[in-house]
Structure formats: C-alpha cells, structure tokens
Amino acid sequence: MPAGPRLRILQVMRAPVGGLFRHVADLTRELSARGHSVGLVVDSLANDAQTEEKLTALLPHASLGIHRFAMPRVLGSGDLETPFGVRKLAKSLSIDILHGHGAKGGFYARLARLSGSTASALYTPHGGVLHFSKSSTSGRIFHMLERALMAQTGAIIFESAYAQTTYSALIGAPTCPVQVIHNGLAPDEFVPVQHAPDAADFVFVGELRDLKGIHVLIDSLAGVTRPDGRPAMLVMAGDGASRGELEAQIARLGLTSRVTLLGAQPARPTFAKGRIAVVPSRAESLPYVVLEAAAAQLPVIATNVGGIPEIFGPTAKSLVPAGDADALRMAMMAALDNPETTHAEMLARLAHIESHFSLATMTDSIEALYHAVMTRA
C-alpha cells in the first residue's frame, strides 16, 4: 500500500540503457505495485530491437503508457520542441510528478514545468551532467542550464553522497531540497550464486572501454598466481569500442589461454563463472555491478572512485587506487592467498548492503519525497 495518496507519475529519460534504465525500471515496477499510475517518456531517435524489448517488458507496469519524443544526445532542435510535448502530455494525463533522470531527462521534466505544467518536478542526475568538465563548452552550457532550472526543481535526488558533492563543486550548492537515496536491489538478488567446479578465479562484468579499467586489469592479471603457483584465470563479460585493443593486449602479454571474453552477458549468470569479482574502474557514480556482485556473495575487488566507498561501507579500507596495476595485482593476490579473510570481508560488506541498499528502502524514500514535494508545492 502507498504511504500516501496514489500518484500519477511520469518518469522522463533519454535512452533505456545501463544503470539509469535499471533504476527507472525497478522504480516503475515498485511504484506500480504500490498502486501508483506510472508512465515513461523516452527518446524516439535511438530505437533498436534491444531497446524495444526492454520497453515492452516494462509496459505492463506503465499504466500511463510509454511515450516517445525526439531527445538528441547533444543540444538540438528537439530540445526546443520536446518540453512542450512533455508539458502537453503531462496535462492530458493529469500528472502529479515529473521525475527526470539523467541530464536530458532532468532538463525536459523541469522545462515542461517552466512551460506551464502544474506537476511537481524532481531530478536524479545519475552521473549525466556531472561528467561534463567546467572547462568544456558543453559543460559550461549544461551547468548554466542546471543553475537556471533550479527554481523549477522540487527536489534533486542523488544516488550517492559522492554525486551530491560533485554536483555542488561543478554547479554550485542546490537551492532546492536534496536527498541522497541509494539504488536498491530486489530480495532475489541476495541469493548466493552457485559456482561451477571450473569457475575462473576472477570475473569482470562491464563495458569494454578504458574508463572501466580493463587495460589495468589485464596488466595486473599477468603477474597473479594461485597459492599452488598456477597462473590465475579471468572471465570477462561485456562489449565495447575497446574490445579490439583489449584482445591485442591479451595476445601481446601471452594471456590468451588465461582470459575468456564472453561478449555482452547478463551480470548474475556471469558471476557464477568467476569466484572473485573485479571492478577496476577509473571513474564511476554508484555502479550496480558492485552491488550485484556483493549481493550474490562474491568477494569484490574494486577501486576507490565515485560512490563505491559508500557501497563498501565498513570494508572501504580494502579499495585500491584507480589506474594502479601494482596495487590491483597485490589485492588480487591477497584475495587468493587469504580465503578466510576474503570471505569474512565479503560477509561484512553483504550485511552493509542488505541494510542500506534494498529496493524497498529506495522506493520508500522516493515515494515519501514525492509526497513531500507535492505538499510544499
């Protein structure tokens, strides 16, 4: 049952991909289950079979429908027309809450309100605008727009304290209410995965691009051995622009027999193929893959970037510096050499995530904030 009146909500985002879509999809299902009416606004310019499949699966939970508008990746003519379309849609559906996700979703939700919508507008950056440098032209434009739209923002939801700090440093301290609400996992994601007898020592799940630290990981693996002296093995699931580069690096270091590239695969089944998860990212916000691996009861080796220390909680001291192949190699060796310590740390991290990163807790907090914003409006 909802904690207050049932609401009519539009979730506004550009492309249904990555962690942002995972968050919106989870939130849509949970809000719908609590009796709220939810609709989605998505981009009409970047449709493919995978996108349509994801949206079709979500449609039963979106009683207000899925609506498409032109949302160019960079600033374009669609940015002038779409807010009016969203405003018209919000009026026709008697929307109470416009919740924008990511830079573009946040702009459209708040610009629609500026254009005359009576709905309350909330915004979750999900990284988005935080990835633009102050020194770039795009960064200056996006940051200026953020400041200009603050008056139309009922509240900003940050998925991590790191995101809130970064936003204030780049754009300025928000003048609207703010709240840190961590992403959450469903109960079935806390069931431990069952490893096959031939599971690799380590598993990586993510995009194959330099930002994810893939080249550092391969450099580190070259010097990692098991306690019995045999070389450690790695399974990698993912795809991306750097795959060719990665394959060349693996061949150059003579690691072809030690690294298995699976291509893009769902995270949870892949976790069963490796005993220790490695997340060597150079930059992150609050990555779901760390939450998912820890909830599946894998030990996790990760870098000290973004909101990862918030996920690690009492075990944050074990995080390694980003881009440091030697530090990562030592952490990988230590995890293999000291299985009892590694297991104890995994259990401490699991307890922290169970109490702070549940889907129910996330939805409770967002739902309460929706009602609070409407009360203030």
Domains of the chain (ranges plus CATH)? 8-184+358-376 (3.40.50.2000), 187-356 (3.40.50.2000)
Amino acid symbol at 92: S
Residue 76: the pLDDT is 66
Sign of CA dihedral 138, 141, 144, 149: negative
> Would you call 123 helix, strand, or coil by DSSP?
strand
The CA-atom distances, in angstroms, between 282 and each of 133, 244, 294, 304 are 16, 20, 19, 9
Alpha helices per DSSP H over 99-212: 102-114, 137-148, 161-171
* 198, HSE (Cβ side, Cα atoms, 13 Å): 2
Residue 1: the pLDDT is 43
Residue 196: the pLDDT is 87
- Residues 136-170 pLDDT 10s: 776 777 788 888 888 899 999 999 999 999 999 98
C-alpha 152/C-alpha 82 separation (Å) is 17
Closest CA relative to residue 68, chosen from 7, 13, 124, 123: 13
C-alpha 341/C-alpha 348 separation (Å) is 11
Q: Are 12 and 86 in contact (CB under 8 A)?
A: yes
Residue 285: the pLDDT is 85
Residues whose CB falls within 8 Å of the CB of residue 80, separated by 6 or more in sequence, listed in order: none
Q: Are 17 and 102 in contact (CB under 8 A)?
A: no
Per-residue tens of pLDDT for the chain, all 377 residues? 446 799 999 999 987 777 889 999 999 999 999 999 999 999 987 666 677 888 999 999 999 999 999 888 776 666 778 889 999 999 999 999 999 999 889 989 999 887 666 899 999 998 766 766 677 776 777 788 888 888 899 999 999 999 999 999 988 999 999 999 999 999 999 999 999 899 999 999 999 999 999 999 999 999 999 999 999 999 999 999 999 999 999 999 999 999 999 999 999 999 999 999 999 999 988 999 999 999 999 999 999 999 999 999 999 999 999 999 999 999 999 999 999 999 999 999 999 999 999 999 999 999 999 999 998 86
The CA-atom distances, in angstroms, between 370 and each of 6, 38, 142 are 11, 13, 25
The whole-angstrom distance between residue 79's C-alpha and the CA centroid of its chain comes to 24
Residue 27: the pLDDT is 97
C-alpha triplet 234, 240, 244: angle, nearest 5°: 70
- The pTM (predicted TM-score) of the whole model is 0.89
C-alpha triplet 244, 250, 256: angle, nearest 5°: 115
Closest CA relative to residue 215, chosen from 183, 240, 178: 240
If one counts every other C-beta atom within 10 angstroms of the C-beta of residue 56, the result is 10
Residue 146: the pLDDT is 84
Amino acid symbol at 43: D
Residue 377: the pLDDT is 66
Q: Are 115 and 85 in contact (CB under 8 A)?
A: no
C-alpha 9/C-alpha 97 separation (Å) is 5
Closest CA relative to residue 193, chosen from 288, 292, 280: 292
Q: What kind and span of H or E run contains 365?
A: helix 359-376
